[in-house]
Amino acid sequence: MPDVILTGASGRIEGRYSPGKTDNAPIALILHPHPKAGGHMNHPVSVQLYHLFMKRGFATLRFNFRGVGRSQGEFDAGIGELADAATALDWLQTNNPAAAQTWVAGYSFGAYIGMQLLMRRPETDGFISVSPPTNMYDFSFLAPCPASGLILTGAADTVVPPVEVERVVSKLRTQKGIVIDYEVVDKATHFWAEHLPSVEKSVGDYLDKRLEMTPIP
């Protein structure tokens, strides 16, 4: 799992990269929670997502948004962070030109950035969105959402109550051509303390299901 340095619009972007197991291994980009709330690429949920993809042979990258860790720049209210994510995905695709699939996974603020990136990169095959902050940001840009994916939230989340997430899920499920899996984990909060095994099981089971439906040649 080598450390990598990418060049972004605000300078250096610090990342952690695990190469794929084959030349055509799928790629996955992991996006961390809000920088102003202590979010960074080594947050337990971000690391959990990283390892779930890595264990399945994906070429996997997680990185620090601008102004976090050794990444240069300053917080840019989501605009610059989306540019950072696009730079990171470009880097992943350049280093894995034969990748069979492209996935984006994010937690909280990272889920918001991930869904925006999804809209700008129609080649994306799947997404994982953990605790998307649907009551803090406008998710109406998902019209139409270009890929199927999993949305995971906690039943005891008081930061983003499940009813707010369900509102977005319901709209997405009216769209044709995609399938949105939605899971609410009993007793889990927005921060997933003591519930990381639930993230591992739900996301792991979903990835295995999708990979069984579309095997990597």
- Whichever domain contains 154, its CATH number is 3.40.50.1820
User: Residue 217 above 90 pLDDT?
Assistant: no
How many domains does the chain divide into? Answer: 1
pLDDT tier at 17, thresholds 50, 70, 90? very high
Q: Any idea which of 1-10, 65-74, 164-173, 183-192 has the lowest mean pLDDT? A: 1-10
pLDDT, tens digit (0-9, with 9 covering 90-100), for 114-135: 999 999 999 999 999 999 999 9
Give me the mean pLDDT over the 200-214 stretch. Answer: 97
Give me the mean pLDDT over the 195-207 stretch. Answer: 98
17 torsion bin: left (phi>0), alpha (psi -120 to 50), beta (else): beta
Q: Which domain holds residue 73?
A: 3-213
In the prediction, which pLDDT does 216 show?
A: 82
Q: Provide the 10 A C-beta neighbour count for residue 197.
A: 11
pLDDT tier at 215, thresholds 50, 70, 90? confident
pLDDT, tens digit (0-9, with 9 covering 90-100), for 50-96: 999 999 999 999 999 999 999 999 999 999 999 999 999 999 999 99
In the prediction, which pLDDT does 21 show?
A: 93
The CB-side HSE value for 117 (13 A sphere, CA atoms) comes to 33
Is 123 exposed, middle or buried, given 0-12, 13-18 or 19+ CB atoms closer than 10 A?
exposed
In the prediction, which pLDDT does 1 show?
A: 62
- Rounded CA-CA distance 158/183 in Å is 16
Task: Evaluate whether 108 touches 38 at the Cβ level (below 8 Å).
Answer: no
pLDDT, tens digit (0-9, with 9 covering 90-100), for 119-177: 999 999 999 999 999 999 999 999 899 999 999 999 999 999 999 999 999 999 999 99
